[in-house]
Structure 1
Amino acid sequence: MQNAWTPTSPSRVIHANNLEVLPGLPDGAFTLIYLDPPFNTGRSQKRQSTTSVRSVAVDGSHAAGTITGFKGQRYERIKGDLLGYDDQFEDYWAFLEPRLIEAWRLLADDGTLYLHLDYREAHYAKVLLDALFGRECFLNELIWAYDYGAKSKNKWPTKHDTILVYVKNPARYYFDSTTVDREPYMAPGLVTPEKVAKGKLPTDVWWHTIVSPTGKEKTGYPTQKPVGILRRIIQASSREGDWVLDFFAGSGTTGAVANALGRRFVLIDQNPEALAVMRVRFELVAGIDFSDLTEERPENDAVGSQPSLRKRASQQKLPQSIAGTARPN
């Protein structure tokens, strides 16, 4: 990639197709990778479902069509019936799978992947990640529950996202729950006053509001995730000075929280609107490199081609604790 990145580089925001950038990043460079890809919610998309199962060798050979998993196992790719799905991608998993393969390669031996999806694809993703990482590398299924928006009358309203957590090496992964912000007890009368004052560690179900449409945290980016969710992830699964990667960066919340917590980061997104928001979000943070690896564009259009979005983003006043200041590399 242009302007080659190494672990001694400053934190960086890259405007590019992530699959064109990821192969140029070095193996094992990131302690934490958080991914919030598109949720497969568009229109008229057809894909072929795939299931991966372990392939058993017969006389030292494997069935045709098998692939070698990252843990040395071999898996047979079995194509299921053609299913119709709603999304803008012709094949959602052909889109996501090569990016997850790169994520595995880029994780440090003590690293952790957080894949943020919703009910449409989370279960398919679990099967795919079991094949790519190995089932023994599955750490958690986190449920982010919220209560906002329309309520369905003909089914249970869907008010949660799923975050799948996989580690590179189940014997060496980094996790420190003592650094995580505690939360109030739901039944404080059942515990001692000392415990009430201290709060409890979060479980695998996280009750947290969405980004308020009128709150100070709002950047104007439509799929922005709350600071509180990213803060919990980054606190638990990285140390100060570690590198964090988000290659569906969106509004840049991962980088903003990583910076505020003393981590270093690489953010990648190909949407000009995302880059416009991130330029505003990090304009007061020194020492961050912005790289545009897309086609050449006029200099005065470098921050994106959406003036209305730039105006909205520039009006946002992010809390200093989130925007932060650059920490020396």
Structure 2
Amino acid sequence: MQPDSPETGGIWRPDGPDLIVHSDNLAFIQTLPDASFPLIYIDPPFNTGKTQARRSMRTVRAADGPRIGFKGRSYETVRGATLRYADTFSEYWEFLEPRLVEAWRLLADNGTLYLHLDYREVHYAKVLLDALFGRDSFLNEIIWAYDYGGRAKDRWPAKHDNILVYVKNPEDYVFDSAEVDREPYMAPGLVTAEKAALGKLPTDVWWHTIVSPTGKEKTGYPTQKPLGVLRRIVAASSRPGDWVLDFFAGSGTTGAAARALDRRFVLVDESPDAVRVMSERLGIEPERLI
């Protein structure tokens, strides 16, 4: 399908409005034109083999029955406002690889991809992205570390996610460290008072809390990522007015960060729960292509 095909109605335009799209993400992103997005952030399911669930802080109407999505993933809304999805794939890389190929195609010539995974699949992703982008295009592996949740007794508890960062052209990409929020020094006594007051630029290890289960930021959507993490990504790797694409958009945090920083965004998800949460959070009526 072409970007202006009847199937999509040409709903995305470079001079158009921000978008929330309810669609199978591969079917939709294949209609978008090459090199359209300076920044792509994606946070796909982690293939944990578990059912992810979160309780929202407000009451919603109970669904009539389960909703089945792509590859048999199930979504349901139950009384008590618990949102769930099954995070398990028998053919995970058959699912993810074509979407990463599309991400490479959609990146602008100076664009950057952030792929958010965890220890289960990130090593395979690194090999695949090295082949797709070229090893010289690998910029960073960011470790997002947090300290919340259960503690394993038979191993070191896993309390971090991995974010792989690749640029389309290692000779020409956007990275503006001056726009990134600064952090307190861990040993402020070892630097001057001026430096301690200013704070330091983050490294590739980000200590940032998860979204508080009782905080105002919480939407109730499973695996919601903190706004502070996405603000840092958007601030560093895009410029005001740029388009940001997230086609595993979930709770819409990428859109919230983009809006706060004067960027434009396209958010895509096939989950009706995700689309509802994003629409209410961002005040945008979704385009429904599913």
Alignment TM-score > 0.5, same fold: yes
Q: Which residue of 2 aligns with 1:157?
A: 157
From 2, 19, 24, the counterpart of 2:8: 2
Distance in 2, matches of 1:42 and 1:154, equals: 19
SS state of the match for residue 267, structure 1?
strand
Shift, 1:289, TM fit: 5.5
Runs of 4+ displaced beyond 4 Å: none
Alignment of 1:258-273 (within 5 A): 258-273=258-273
Distance in 1, matches of 2:244 and 2:236, equals: 12
Q: Which residue of 2 aligns with 1:32?
A: 39
TM-score (norm 2): 0.84
From 1, 12, 23, the counterpart of 1:16: 23
Q: Which residue of 2 aligns with 1:90?
A: 90
Larger radius of gyration: 1
Shift, 1:90, TM fit: 2.4
Distance in 2, matches of 1:174 and 1:23, equals: 25
RMSD between aligned alpha carbons?
1.2
Shift, 1:87, TM fit: 5.7
Shift, 1:290, TM fit: 2.0
Alignment of 1:156-235 (within 5 A): 156-235=156-235
Q: Deviations along 1:171-205, whole A, 9 cap, x unmatched?
A: 11111000001010000000000001111000000
Distance in 2, matches of 1:154 and 1:224, equals: 27
Contact 1:6 1:25 in 2 (8 A): no
SS state of the match for residue 286, structure 2?
strand
Distance in 1, matches of 2:285 and 2:146, equals: 35
Distance in 2, matches of 1:3 and 1:182, equals: 43
Q: Deviations along 1:211-232, whole A, 9 cap, x unmatched?
A: 0000010011011000010000
Alignment of 1:1-329 (within 5 A): 1-4=7-10, 5-42=12-49, 88-283=88-283, 288=284, 290-294=286-290
Shift, 1:237, TM fit: 0.1
AA aligned to 2:174 is: Y
Q: Which residue of 1 aligns with 2:60?
A: none
Distance in 1, matches of 2:150 and 2:285, equals: 40
Shift, 1:23, TM fit: 1.1
**Which fold has the larger relative contact order, with Cα–Cα distance below 8 Å and residues 6 or more apart in sequence?**
2
Distance in 1, matches of 2:115 and 2:212, equals: 23
Distance in 2, matches of 1:169 and 1:7, equals: 22
Distance in 2, matches of 1:87 and 1:233, equals: 25
Which runs of 5 or more structure 1 residues have no equivalent in the other structure?
44-85, 295-329
Distance in 2, matches of 1:289 and 1:30, equals: 22
Distance in 1, matches of 2:279 and 2:164, equals: 29
Contact 1:31 1:238 in 2 (8 A): yes
AA aligned to 2:151 is: K
How many residues end up aligned between the 2 structures?
Answer: 248
Contact 1:13 1:266 in 2 (8 A): yes
Shift, 1:251, TM fit: 0.3
Shift, 1:18, TM fit: 0.4
Distance in 2, matches of 1:110 and 1:183, equals: 27
